[in-house]
């Protein structure tokens, strides 16, 4: 087995036992990038020089017998909406095509302090708006399991890089499903933590009340290890939760006995591919055979979650994107006659169609006369959905559902049909609306050999229970094989 095919925890062991060096790990991943990146297109920017330097530093420190973090020397790719000091952070937009942040996001500081090796910045939908990475201004990313298909989005580069062996771990961001949906479509593990548990400082905002950074990887243990690094209170983020964050990795356990699992009825209905439903039911059965208690549950308002999400997220996005005016950051139109003209031309030329669609949608929704009919109703629905979740969690520990209605679709298939594209998030947006932690795990392949994902959702700040359930499944099914077989 090649080094790039190993999990982070395996590599961490090997490093400590001197079976390989951090530089060898990095070079193996870097060679893999060289050989498959032309086909996959996961990265926008590579940071080879700093990565190599870091790997050498790690080797020197280990040789001196220094105590390093378990993930020291492990290659990690970062979604291109997370600020990296001195490394271009484009949000896959023409607007920020040449933007180099003067500071690091808190998560990046933490990763650097843990001595992880940052391989580069990963492709995404423009400003994280999309479900296929096709709205990227920079390039196309292809699904490593079928190069004619999308990797999902918006963290498509982050999921594809892991499945292609171009990174051992990656960071994504999830506003309505952008970690879990691409993880499902690329057959890897993707975790959206509880809102407030990972600092958003330095994450270029899409919808501030929903955005959350989280890890993508090959195993639940790897996810727990990275989550332990990035979580925690940060005074630079006003929504960061000030509390104790016990180490998840130390307490991972395999135990299905007595675990109370709710099957979310609304997410097994019409419109869901049979292969997806059947695969998730098989997992339910496996849990049951091993002692879990299964119960059907209902979140009646789940059917309104998508409309709620698209109104709230677009409203917040239009406000967050107001800063891109040609003055403060990034792109400025070359030709204009007046200040207003400069604003208009800059934003018309700098933003792509999907970003403009959302701004237009919400300008209408927030306009006087429509505010009560749409935005206010969406906020009411948000409350209702959250309280329905609170209610069902009185009787159960976790919820199980498919992550996405189907497997990866063809590049170009949905790009001209926004409503169909939005339907990809039908099962993921609810966790963001409720601020809940949720994870997507690979659970099967369909008849075309495309990965199918299942989703587990937990109560707020119940990451340990959630990851333990995920870890239990991983053990019961004999482990995940996330890598592409066709590259
Ligand atoms: N696909 C969803 C959207 O386009 C979710 C995006 C996200 O989570 N960043 O809004």
Write a three-state SS string for 431-471.
HHHHCCCEEEEEEEECCCCCEEEEEEEECCCCHHHHHHHHH
Task: Tell me the H-state helices in 124-179.
Answer: 156-164
Tell whether ligand 1 has an atom less than 6 A from the beta carbon of residue 316.
no
Tell whether ligand 1 has an atom less than 6 A from the beta carbon of residue 206.
yes
Q: Helix 22-40 and helix 48-63: axis angle, to 10°?
A: 160
Q: Tell which one of 177, 208, 309, 435 to mutate to probe ligand 1, the residue whose CB is within 8 A of the most ligand atoms.
A: 177
Q: Tell which one of 133, 136, 175, 432 to mutate to probe ligand 1, the residue whose CB is within 8 A of the most ligand atoms.
A: 175
Tell whether ligand 1 has an atom less than 6 A from the beta carbon of residue 131.
yes
Tokens matching residue 346? 């800059």
**Eight-class DSSP state of 231:** B
* Active-site residue, 178 included: yes
Tell the residue nearest (CA) to atom 10 of ligand 1: 129
Residue 147 CA, ligand 1 centroid: distance in Å: 22
Tell whether ligand 1 has an atom less than 6 A from the beta carbon of residue 175.
yes
Tell whether ligand 1 has an atom less than 6 A from the beta carbon of residue 154.
yes
* Active-site residue, 132 included: no
Residue 129 CA, ligand 1 centroid: distance in Å: 5
Give the HSE-up count for residue 406: Cα atoms under 13 Å, Cβ half-sphere: 16
Ligand 1 atom with minimal separation from the 313 CA = 10
Tell whether ligand 1 has an atom less than 6 A from the beta carbon of residue 176.
yes
Task: Tell me the H-state helices in 187-338.
Answer: 220-230, 274-289, 305-320
Tell whether ligand 1 has an atom less than 6 A from the beta carbon of residue 128.
yes
Whole-number pLDDT of residue 15? 97
**More confident call, 317 vs 371:** 317
Residue 69 CA, ligand 1 centroid: distance in Å: 33
> Residue 368: pLDDT above 90?
no
Q: Burial level of 144, CB count in 10 A (0-12/13-18/19+)?
A: buried
Whole-number pLDDT of residue 156? 98
> What's the predicted TM-score (pTM) here?
0.98
Residue 431 CA, ligand 1 centroid: distance in Å: 12
> Residue 1: pLDDT above 90?
no
Residues 357 and 363: beta-carbon distance below 8 Å: no
Tokens matching residue 109? 């500081």
Confidence at 104, pLDDT banded by 50, 70, 90: very high
Confidence at 106, pLDDT banded by 50, 70, 90: very high
What is the dihedral sign for C-alpha 428, 430, 433, 439? negative
Give 50-67 pLDDT, tens digit per residue.
Answer: 999 999 999 999 999 999
Please give the mean pLDDT across all residues of the chain.
Answer: 97
Whole-number pLDDT of residue 224? 98
The torsion defined by the Cα of 56, 59, 64 and 68, in degrees rounded to 10, comes to 110
Tell whether ligand 1 has an atom less than 6 A from the beta carbon of residue 143.
no
Residue 273 CA, ligand 1 centroid: distance in Å: 21
Residues 198 and 214: beta-carbon distance below 8 Å: yes
Tell whether ligand 1 has an atom less than 6 A from the beta carbon of residue 211.
no
> Residue 285: pLDDT above 90?
yes
3-state secondary structure (DSSP) of residue 484: coil
Ligand 1 atom with minimal separation from the 177 CA = 8
Residue 190 CA, ligand 1 centroid: distance in Å: 14
Among residues 9, 93, 132, 154, the one annotated as catalytic is 154
Q: Tell which one of 82, 91, 154 to mutate to probe ligand 1, the residue whose CB is within 8 A of the most ligand atoms.
A: 154
Tokens matching residue 178? 């952008």
> Residue 481: pLDDT above 90?
yes
Whole-number pLDDT of residue 329? 84
Give 373-416 pLDDT, tens digit per residue.
Answer: 999 999 999 999 999 999 999 999 999 999 999 999 999 999 99
Tell whether ligand 1 has an atom less than 6 A from the beta carbon of residue 313.
yes
> Residue 268: pLDDT above 90?
yes
* Active-site residue, 231 included: no
Report the C-alpha gap between 219 and 168 in whole angstroms.
Answer: 10
Tell whether ligand 1 has an atom less than 6 A from the beta carbon of residue 484.
no
Ligand 1 atom with minimal separation from the 181 CA = 1
Give the rounded distance of the alpha carbon of 374 from its chain centre: 28
Residue 373 CA, ligand 1 centroid: distance in Å: 23
Residue 177 CA, ligand 1 centroid: distance in Å: 6
Ligand 1 atom with minimal separation from the 354 CA = 4
Ligand 1 atom with minimal separation from the 155 CA = 9
Give 422-476 pLDDT, tens digit per residue.
Answer: 989 999 999 999 999 999 999 999 999 999 999 999 999 999 999 999 999 999 9
Report the C-alpha gap between 350 and 192 in whole angstroms.
Answer: 29
Among residues 83, 178, 197, 301, the one annotated as catalytic is 178
Ligand 1 atom with minimal separation from the 129 CA = 4
Residue 241 CA, ligand 1 centroid: distance in Å: 23
> Residue 328: pLDDT above 90?
no
Residue 121 dihedral angles phi and psi, to the nearest 5° = -110, 140
């Amino acid at each position: 087995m090649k080094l790039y095919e190993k999990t982070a925890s395996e590599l961490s062991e090997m490093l400590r036992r001197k079976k390989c060096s951090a530089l060898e790990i990095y070079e193996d991943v870097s060679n893999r990038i060289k050989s498959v990146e032309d086909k996959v297109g996961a990265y926008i920017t590579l940071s080879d020089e700093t990565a190599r330097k870091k790997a050498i530093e790690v080797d020197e420190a280990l040789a001196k017998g220094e105590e390093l973090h378990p993930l020291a020397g492990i290659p990690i790719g970062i979604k291109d909406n997370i600020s990296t000091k001195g490394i271009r952070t484009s949000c896959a937009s023409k607007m920020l095509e040449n933007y180099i942040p003067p500071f690091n996001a808190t998560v990046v500081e933490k990763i650097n302090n843990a001595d992880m090796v940052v391989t580069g910045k990963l492709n995404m939908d423009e400003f994280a708006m999309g479900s296929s990475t096709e709205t990227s201004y920079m390039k196309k990313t292809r699904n490593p399991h079928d190069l004619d298909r999308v990797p999902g989005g918006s963290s498509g580069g982050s999921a594809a890089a892991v499945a292609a062996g171009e990174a051992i771990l990656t960071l994504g961001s999830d506003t309505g499903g952008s970690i879990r949906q691409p993880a499902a479509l690329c057959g890897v593990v993707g975790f959206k933590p509880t809102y407030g548990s990972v600092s958003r400082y330095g994450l270029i905002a899409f919808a501030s009340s929903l955005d959350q950074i989280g890890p993508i990887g090959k195993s639940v243990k790897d996810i727990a290890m990275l989550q332990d690094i990035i979580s925690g209170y940060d005074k630079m983020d006003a929504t960061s939760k000030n509390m104790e964050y016990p180490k998840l990795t130390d307490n991972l356990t395999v135990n299905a006995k007595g675990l109370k699992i709710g099957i979310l009825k609304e997410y097994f209905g019409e419109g869901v591919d049979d292969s997806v439903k059947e695969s998730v039911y098989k997992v339910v059965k496996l849990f049951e055979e091993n002692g879990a208690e299964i119960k059907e549950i209902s979140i009646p308002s789940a059917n309104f979650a998508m409309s709620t999400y698209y109104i709230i997220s677009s409203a917040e996005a239009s406000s967050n994107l107001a800063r891109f005016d040609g003055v403060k950051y990034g792109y400025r139109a070359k030709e204009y006659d007046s200040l207003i003209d400069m604003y208009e031309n800059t934003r018309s030329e700098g933003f792509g169609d999907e970003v403009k669609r959302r701004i237009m949608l919400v300008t209408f929704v927030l306009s006087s006369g429509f505010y009560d009919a749409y935005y206010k109703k969406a906020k009411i629905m948000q409350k209702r959905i959250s309280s329905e979740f609170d209610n069902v969690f009185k009787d159960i520990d976790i919820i199980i559902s498919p992550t996405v209605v189907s497997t990866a679709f063809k590049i170009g298939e949905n790009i001209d049909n926004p409503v169909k594209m939005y339907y990809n998030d039908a099962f993921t947006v609810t966790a963001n609306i409720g601020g809940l932690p949720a994870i997507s795990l690979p659970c099967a392949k369909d008849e075309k050999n495309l990965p199918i994902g299942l989703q587990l959702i937990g109560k707020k700040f119940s990451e340990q229970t959630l990851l333990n359930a995920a870890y239990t499944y991983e053990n019961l099914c004999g482990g995940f094989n996330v890598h592409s077989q066709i590259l």
